[in-house]
Structure 1
């Protein structure tokens, strides 16, 4: 029913819903009035049928939703979190503001115990956890890893790994899916949060691009502040990845601004050391080397391997260079598999 409502641009609030996951009906925020039903029903787990009469925002339903949100907000250490925590980290904040909740009418103890982990990527701040289980479900349903699960019941419910150990010792592949689906920031991007103090309350700029690490072509949104990359969000509407990324696509972006990254071509001089030069001189030197090898050892002594991190146009030119320039098919690409 939630899908039908979205199709008709009728927004129904939710915290446990992710369109990539199977309906769960855990948060109960998406309850609606169904004509003929004794009690409100969860729209995400109720299938739409012909002739069904549904009321999505009556005074009674909105009062239920506000009370549920007050209970959730009252158990969380904080609701205002940095957008650098993750793609969906502001969902609870947005709903709190939408319903005008100040968090004082219903209060309780924080709902989880945060984990001090040695891994460099994922912050597990479970005092912000609302037990929506989106992280557990995305790990199982989308990644097939089952690296995290649920421990205990009731108020003592906790998201955990097998034997309650460290995340780096579990089956986790650090794809970051759990981070990006979390609606409260309980799971957060540690690397991105390094820039949280720099951007303060500002919202980082987003630029849509393609991940350069392999030939799949995953769409990503690069988060920047003052032209500096501070994080990566997977594109949920990316045709190749639909919100998924591997550990490299999610976290390995430091090379872009690394101090060791080459900015000018280098040529090794007679002294055996590398020296900065112009592109013209560097290309002439490379061409001279190719001609020398071909003259001494023949055309089959030259083999080309294109990089999966290069764009398709570069791969095309690489194979053209080998096939036309040397008349062989000695060309491969690291992303062909």
Structure 2
């Protein structure tokens, strides 16, 4: 069996594993800003560099394949100085993104936490900055604050590699580098499907969930509850974010077996109806052509009489039910059970079947 020695510990590895993957398996704290498990390793930020015995210079652990007999050191004094310099360079280019800020729409703040770790405040290499924000983008879902961008390209790569949309790309070079859409337009005019994958992978808060940002100044603590998206039959795992028992955001579960961190626009952003003021709070029945409030007893009685008269006049196949993707799974189950058991037919559907 092939083995690699990391920080004095010999460990077996499988063909195709990188030094970074093996190091993480050993719970070594190797930092990175451009790495995402779901994407092909890119090696752009170089923060994951390690010392490799026999190599002239430090190597990027995320793109260097493990080989039998390698001897690696992940946290020597020289390596930490190297990482410190890299962080100082990154933070000096976009110091705004290196501040820990709770008002960023629950976006990741990997850069901010690493800046604290390496005591990088942007003062070491003061100079020109890159990235131009798009406050003119009026879409109500995704913040595009490129003053925080560090050009790690994770958003571009997740859009291409995971979604296959290729809605965003990189324009220009050097300090003129800019994350953009085709013809530098708005997201709604591009091929963007508003899946939110770019928000979830961004390490700086340059991309954020605008809807969840609105809840940042509300009182109470954020709570996260694992659930299943009801919109279709795929069964995507989601983490529902709440404050004082009110939904303020939805995030895809990165370990969800059906979606692995992916969601569609409905699953990601279509949650505000839950607490909508327009939702019914009691049954309504039609009287003199108008819907008026009624008791549950009256509503049930009217519904029963209606079903009975239809079946007597037209037969059981005249009854057809459509369940809603906005209802709980238990409600969908009850609807199909009601039709199949109560009327002996399979005339049931769901508006969001996949």
Contact 1:83 1:203 survives alignment (8 Å): no
- 2:63 is aligned to 45
Q: What CA deviation, in whole Å up to 9, does each residue of 1:247-305 have, x standing for no partner?
A: 11111111011110112222223x33323233333222211110011111111111122
CA RMSD of aligned residues (A): 1.9
- 2:257 is aligned to 239
- 1:17 is aligned to 35
Please give the alpha-carbon distance, in whole angstroms, between the structure 2 residues aligned to 1:265 and 1:293: 21
Residue 170 of structure 1, CA deviation: 0.7
Find the partner of 1:159 among 136, 161, 179.
Answer: 179
Length-normalised TM-score, structure 1: 0.93
Give the paired residue count.
334
Contact 2:230 2:329 survives alignment (8 Å): no
SS class of match (1:142): helix
Contact 1:266 1:277 survives alignment (8 Å): yes
Gap change, CA 1:88 and 1:2, over 3 Å in 2: farther
Contact 2:106 2:209 survives alignment (8 Å): no
Gaps of 5+ in 2: 1-18
- 1:90 is aligned to 109
Length-normalised TM-score, structure 2: 0.89
Q: What CA deviation, in whole Å up to 9, does each residue of 1:175-225 have, x standing for no partner?
A: 1111111000111112222223336xx862222222222222211122222
- 1:329 is aligned to 346
Residue 97 of structure 1, CA deviation: 1.6
Q: What CA deviation, in whole Å up to 9, does each residue of 1:56-75 have, x standing for no partner?
A: 00000011111111111122
Please give the alpha-carbon distance, in whole angstroms, between the structure 1 residues aligned to 2:203 and 2:351: 37
SS class of match (1:85): coil
Residue 3 of structure 1, CA deviation: 1.4
Please give the alpha-carbon distance, in whole angstroms, between the structure 2 residues aligned to 1:63 and 1:209: 43
Gap change, CA 1:221 and 1:84, over 3 Å in 2: farther
Find the partner of 1:193 among 209, 213, 221.
Answer: 213
Contact 1:86 1:182 survives alignment (8 Å): no
Please give the alpha-carbon distance, in whole angstroms, between the structure 2 residues aligned to 1:315 and 1:123: 35
Contact 1:87 1:233 survives alignment (8 Å): no
SS class of match (1:197): coil
Gaps of 5+ in 1: none
